[in-house]
């Protein structure tokens, strides 16, 4: 109500001012038009009379002059006509004027003096008149003056009418505005605000209810969006706190993004953190609506952003997107995330030749197949090695520039693209704490010995204070490779390497994903049954059972073996034909490498072969989506599937397995998992398979589909607890904490406290 009382007078004053300005302009325009019309008619009438009067003056007939002026004196708005001699004496006057014309008007003298027509507005008696004087001549001499008196009061009357109408319009408009404003404010502002206030009061008292409006339709616009987001965050925080309290009661505690920030802030003790990766956390691309921001699908961003938030750190990465250069400053930096900047992104630029040699060549045709032992021969070229060295040096210089003024910085390097980087940084800044996390497997020493530059790679890695892998077996393989290739001292009981008086710790830190905590907010959404029906409609299937697989199309993921296992399953258990469909999401990657390009075609050909062999008119066993798909597109399939099939031939961790577990809030579904993944060391309730054993895959698919509901739920519940307790925030916290505990003051002391 107070808002209405403030708003209505403002609107009324505004309408009045606008109406006054419009009315004044209208009156001015109307007056000008009426006067111009009156003056023009006076001039025309005077000239007409002149033609009749001057011949009579020549004759000197006064009576005839009186008849003329009387005859013309009844025109519209014409009060009368008078004829004066040169001395101002009335010669003839119309009867309507009577005595008002005895004294010549002021224009008479002007007309005589100037000997030309003169018109002016004068007060005659009690009326305002337009008086027009026209000289009359006898031969060429001035003989008198013809004067016309037009009543001009109608002009003021018209102006008064316009003002009166404007006043009534103002009154009507103000009354209408008052009514409209009252109802608009009541229905679209006061009402929604009251509902939102009630909703926020419920939140404050711990009662979680959905936001009362769809944020996209709410009058409150961006404010409602932020309020709904804040409520969701509050609900998640309370749920996390509740879960953490329960775990603390049991002697453990849950790692959350907030807890990670607090822990890292304490561990860094004012030092700065610098993350180095090949892939950047935010890309800028040219889209249909201009430059757009895109977040690459990566668990790394989820893991590392809370750390960078906590210390306002710097992320150094290759800027590969087509609009990246347009968004950085003169030092190739920008603040991210775009909506709420909390840390700095420093972009490094590579030439096409460097990207080809370092990334596609040495890293992905050499190190990748070497480490995965997936029976694809690694390719090592001298020119690729030169590019790999050059790019590592370029990144090292960028890191050194960024940490130039930082005291005791923390540098966290990601993955196999930067094996040389730890040594390059540490040689220039021995006070920096340097860690590298190797996201892919580390092969046995004999396999790694294939690499012609194994000593250089190992020496570069041992420049770090901490080298971390997913599982202990990879740590063991790494130490054995070091033992066989380099002169150094390995302490197997503490898993450290002493090379040239520098101590390197080797530790397992299995990476994970973030599992959203359940909240009491009941968001509107489709049911599980409707979701499954929608999914089946999308893939054109009418089956009872659904399986899903999600991978990059990479020869290490065992996709062909997976398809053959499905074929074997349908051959061994034919009653599942037309009752079972498997959906495979396959994102093509690194297709400029021939092996990858050929493998994309191989996967498609194998799916086509199996479908042609087994499909019926209304059913095919395998649906392949060979394209990039977002997590939002894939998650409904996770939720609808009876099982998820992960058959990697060799994998450091495989986060798809954990993402499937995270998506199953219903605590249902079965995970069939390759025994050659790091995830198999943690998710003991998955059905483990040897991906090379096609018959075993078939048997495990049958077991998954026929598993009792109680067992499915018990297995999924235990796996979700593992992922919740060992989530990505715990991974990041333990990695940084271990790095922070390393003492750098002397080789003898360079060990964990």
Binned at pLDDT 50, 70 and 90, residue 177 comes out as: confident
pLDDT at residue 554 in the model: 93
95 domain-assigned: yes
Domain boundary among 157, 186, 219: 157
The answer on 382 and 480 residing in a single domain is: yes
Give CA–CA dist 554/652, Å, rounded.
Answer: 14
pLDDT at residue 12 in the model: 73
Q: Domain of 119: which CATH number?
A: 3.30.450.20
Query: Among residues 388, 382, 395, which one has the least CA distance to residue 363?
Result: 388
Residues 6-33 have pLDDT tens digits of 666 777 777 778 777 877 787 788 788 8
Question: Does residue 743 register a pLDDT over 90?
Answer: no
Q: For residue 615, what are the CA distances in angstroms to 320, 325, 611, 623? A: 42, 50, 5, 11
pLDDT at residue 99 in the model: 66
The answer on 266 and 323 residing in a single domain is: yes
Q: Decide which of 677 and 202 is more confident.
A: 677
Q: Is 347 left (phi over 0), alpha (psi -120 to 50) or beta?
A: beta
Helix (H) or strand (E) holding 82: strand 78-84
Give the residue numbers spanning the domain of 110: 2-157
Q: For residue 254, what are the CA distances in angstroms to 236, 241, 714, 729? A: 13, 9, 21, 9
Asked if residues 229 and 215 have their Cβ atoms less than 8 Å apart, the reply is no
352 domain-assigned: yes
**Cα(first)–Cα(last) distance of the chain, in Å?**
66
Q: What angle do CA 104, 109, 111 make, to 5 degrees?
A: 110
> Which residues lie closer than 8 Å to 412 by C-beta, 6 or more apart?
273, 274, 275, 276, 304, 435, 436, 437, 735, 736, 739
Question: Does residue 1 register a pLDDT over 70?
Answer: no
pLDDT at residue 220 in the model: 57
Give CA–CA dist 9/336, Å, rounded.
Answer: 46
The answer on 435 and 366 residing in a single domain is: yes
Q: Domain of 265: which CATH number?
A: 3.40.50.2000
Query: Among residues 300, 258, 293, 297, which one has the least CA distance to residue 275?
Result: 300
Q: Within 10 A of 298 (CB to CB), how many other CB atoms are there? A: 14
Lowest mean per-residue pLDDT among 308-312, 331-335, 420-424: 308-312
Tally of structural domains, the chain: 3
Q: What does pLDDT average to over the chain?
A: 85
Query: Among residues 228, 208, 214, which one has the least CA distance to residue 519?
Result: 208
229 domain-assigned: no
391 domain-assigned: yes
Q: Which of 158-172, 366-380, 504-518 is modeled with the greatest confidence?
A: 366-380
pLDDT at residue 306 in the model: 75
414 domain-assigned: yes
pLDDT at residue 234 in the model: 67
pLDDT at residue 750 in the model: 45
The answer on 559 and 425 residing in a single domain is: no
Give CA–CA dist 744/672, Å, rounded.
Answer: 44
Question: Does residue 56 register a pLDDT over 80?
Answer: no
Lowest mean per-residue pLDDT among 351-355, 504-508, 513-517, 742-746: 742-746
Give CA–CA dist 52/318, Å, rounded.
Answer: 101
pLDDT at residue 515 in the model: 75
Task: Give burial (CB, 10 Å; 0-12/13-18/19+) of 609.
Answer: middle
Question: Does residue 93 register a pLDDT over 90?
Answer: no
Q: Within 10 A of 492 (CB to CB), how many other CB atoms are there? A: 9
Residues 619-666 have pLDDT tens digits of 999 999 998 888 888 999 999 999 999 999 999 999 999 999 999 999
Residue by residue, DSSP assigns 344-383 as EEEEE---HHHIIIIIIIIIIIIIHHHHHTSS------HH
Instruction: Report the percentage of the chain scoring pLDDT > 90.
Output: 50
Region 46-58: mean pLDDT is 78
Strands 580-588 and 622-626: parallel
The answer on 119 and 35 residing in a single domain is: yes
* 299-311 and 728-741 helices, crossing angle to 10°: 50
What are the structure tokens assigned to 695, written together?
A: 């018959």
Question: Does residue 199 register a pLDDT over 80?
Answer: no
171 domain-assigned: no
Query: Among residues 466, 632, 620, which one has the least CA distance to residue 541?
Result: 620
Q: What angle do CA 387, 390, 391 make, to 5 degrees?
A: 85
Give CA–CA dist 701/704, Å, rounded.
Answer: 5
The answer on 14 and 87 residing in a single domain is: yes
The answer on 543 and 441 residing in a single domain is: no
Residues 459-503 have pLDDT tens digits of 999 999 999 999 999 999 999 999 999 999 999 999 999 999 999
Residues 505-550 have pLDDT tens digits of 999 999 998 877 554 444 455 777 888 888 888 887 788 999 999 9
Residues 408-464 have pLDDT tens digits of 999 999 999 999 999 999 999 999 999 999 999 999 999 999 999 999 999 999 999
Query: Among residues 240, 316, 700, 295, which one has the least CA distance to residue 514?
Result: 240
Region 102-111: mean pLDDT is 83
What are the structure tokens assigned to 693, written together?
A: 């054993």
Give CA–CA dist 422/426, Å, rounded.
Answer: 6
pLDDT at residue 519 in the model: 46
Task: Give burial (CB, 10 Å; 0-12/13-18/19+) of 139.
Answer: exposed
Region 179-187: mean pLDDT is 72
Domain boundary among 441, 476, 508: 508
Give CA–CA dist 202/206, Å, rounded.
Answer: 6
Domain boundary among 104, 138, 157: 157
Q: Which letter does DSSP use for residue 747 in this model? A: G
pLDDT at residue 223 in the model: 59
The answer on 533 and 502 residing in a single domain is: no
HEC string for 144-201: EEEEEEEECHHHHHHHHHHHHHHHHHHHHHHHHHHHHHHHHHHHHHHHHHHHHHHHHH
Q: Which letter does DSSP use for residue 304 in this model? A: H
The answer on 702 and 652 residing in a single domain is: yes
The answer on 499 and 387 residing in a single domain is: yes
The answer on 487 and 562 residing in a single domain is: no
pLDDT at residue 403 in the model: 95
Question: Does residue 558 register a pLDDT over 80?
Answer: yes
Question: Does residue 398 register a pLDDT over 60?
Answer: yes
pLDDT at residue 88 in the model: 82
298 domain-assigned: yes
739 domain-assigned: no
Give CA–CA dist 304/632, Å, rounded.
Answer: 21
Q: What angle do CA 149, 152, 154 make, to 5 degrees?
A: 140
pLDDT at residue 745 in the model: 55
The answer on 546 and 468 residing in a single domain is: no
Q: Which letter does DSSP use for residue 544 in this model? A: S
Binned at pLDDT 50, 70 and 90, residue 249 comes out as: very low
Q: How many CA atoms lie within 13 A of 190 on its CB side?
A: 11
């Amino acid at each position: 109500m107070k808002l209405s009382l403030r708003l209505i007078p403002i609107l009324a004053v505004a309408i009045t001012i606008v109406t006054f300005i419009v009315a004044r302009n209208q009156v001015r325009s109307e007056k000008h038009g009426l006067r111009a019309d009156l003056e023009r008619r006076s001039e025309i009438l005077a000239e007409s009379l002149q033609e009749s009067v001057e011949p009579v003056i020549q004759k000197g007939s006064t009576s005839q002059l009186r008849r003329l002026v009387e005859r013309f004196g009844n025109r519209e708005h014409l009060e009368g006509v008078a004829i004066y001699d040169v001395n101002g004496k009335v010669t003839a006057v119309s009867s309507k004027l009577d005595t008002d014309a005895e004294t010549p008007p002021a224009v008479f003298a002007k007309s005589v003096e100037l000997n030309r027509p003169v018109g002016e507005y004068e007060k005659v008696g009690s009326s305002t008149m337009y008086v027009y004087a026209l000289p009359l001549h006898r031969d060429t001499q001035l003989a008198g003056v013809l004067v016309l008196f037009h009543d001009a009061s109608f002009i003021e009357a018209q102006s008064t009418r316009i003002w009166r109408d404007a006043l009534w319009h103002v009154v009507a408009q103000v009354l209408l505005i008052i009514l409209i404003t009252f109802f608009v404010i009541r229905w679209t502002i006061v009402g929604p605000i009251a509902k939102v206030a009630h909703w926020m009061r419920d939140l404050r008292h711990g009662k979680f209810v959905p936001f009362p409006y769809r944020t996209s339709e709410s009058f409150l616009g961006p404010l409602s969006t932020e309020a709904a987001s804040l409520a969701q965050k509050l609900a998640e925080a309370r749920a996390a706190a509740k879960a953490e309290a329960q775990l603390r009661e049991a002697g453990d505690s849950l790692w959350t993004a907030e807890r990670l920030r607090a822990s890292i802030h304490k561990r860094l003790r004012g030092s700065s953190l610098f993350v180095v990766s090949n892939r950047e956390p935010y890309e800028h691309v040219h889209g249909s609506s201009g430059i757009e921001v895109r977040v690459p699908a990566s668990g790394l961003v989820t893991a590392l952003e809370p750390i960078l938030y906590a210390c306002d750190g710097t992320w150094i990465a290759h800027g590969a997107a087509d609009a990246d250069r347009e968004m950085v400053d003169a030092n190739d930096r920008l603040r991210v995330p775009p909506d709420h900047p909390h840390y700095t992104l420093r972009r490094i630029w590579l030439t096409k030749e460097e990207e080809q040699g370092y990334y596609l060549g040495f890293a992905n045709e050499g190190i990748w197949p070497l480490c995965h032992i997936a029976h694809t021969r690694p390719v090592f070229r001298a020119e690729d090695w030169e590019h790999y060295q050059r790019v590592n040096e370029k990144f090292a210089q960028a890191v050194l520039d960024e940490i130039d003024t930082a005291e005791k910085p923390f540098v966290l390097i990601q993955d196999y693209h930067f094996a040389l980087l730890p040594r390059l940084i540490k040689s220039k800044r021995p006070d920096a704490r340097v860690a590298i996390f190797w996201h892919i497997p580390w092969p046995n020493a004999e396999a790694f010995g294939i690499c012609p530059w194994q000593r250089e790679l190992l020496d570069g890695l041992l420049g770090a204070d901490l080298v971390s892998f997913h599982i202990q077996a990879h740590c063991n393989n790494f130490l054995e490779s070091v033992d066989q290739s380099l002169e150094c001292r390995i302490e197997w009981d503490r898993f450290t390497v002493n090379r040239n008086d520098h101590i390197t710790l080797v530790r397992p830190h299995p990476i994970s994903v973030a599992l959203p905590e359940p909240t009491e907010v009941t968001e509107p959404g489709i049911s599980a049954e409707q979701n499954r029906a929608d999914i089946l409609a999308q893939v054109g299937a009418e089956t009872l059972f659904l399986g899903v697989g999600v991978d990059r199309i990479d020869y290490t993921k065992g996709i062909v073996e997976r398809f053959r296992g499905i074929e074997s399953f349908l051959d061994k258990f034919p009653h599942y034909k037309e009752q079972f469909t498997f959906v495979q999401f396959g994102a093509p990657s690194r297709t400029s490498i021939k092996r990858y390009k050929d493998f994309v075609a191989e996967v498609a050909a194998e799916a086509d072969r199996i479908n042609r062999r087994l499909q019926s008119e209304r059913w095919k066993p395998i649906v392949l989506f060979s394209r990039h798909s977002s997590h939002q597109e894939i998650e409904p399939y996770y939720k609808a599937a009876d099982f998820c099939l992960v058959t990697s031939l060799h994998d450091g961790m495989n986060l798809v397995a954990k993402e499937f577990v995270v998506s199953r809030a219903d605590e249902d579904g079965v995970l069939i998992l390759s025994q050659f993944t790091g995830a198999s060391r943690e998710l003991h309730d998955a059905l483990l398979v040897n991906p090379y054993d096609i018959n075993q895959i078939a048997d495990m698919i049958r077991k998954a589909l026929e598993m009792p509901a109680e067992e499915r739920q018990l297995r999924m519940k235990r796996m979700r607890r593992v992922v919740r307790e060992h989530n990505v925030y715990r991974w990041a916290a333990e990695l940084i904490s271990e790095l922070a505990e390393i003492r750098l003051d002397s080789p003898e002391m360079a060990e964990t406290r």
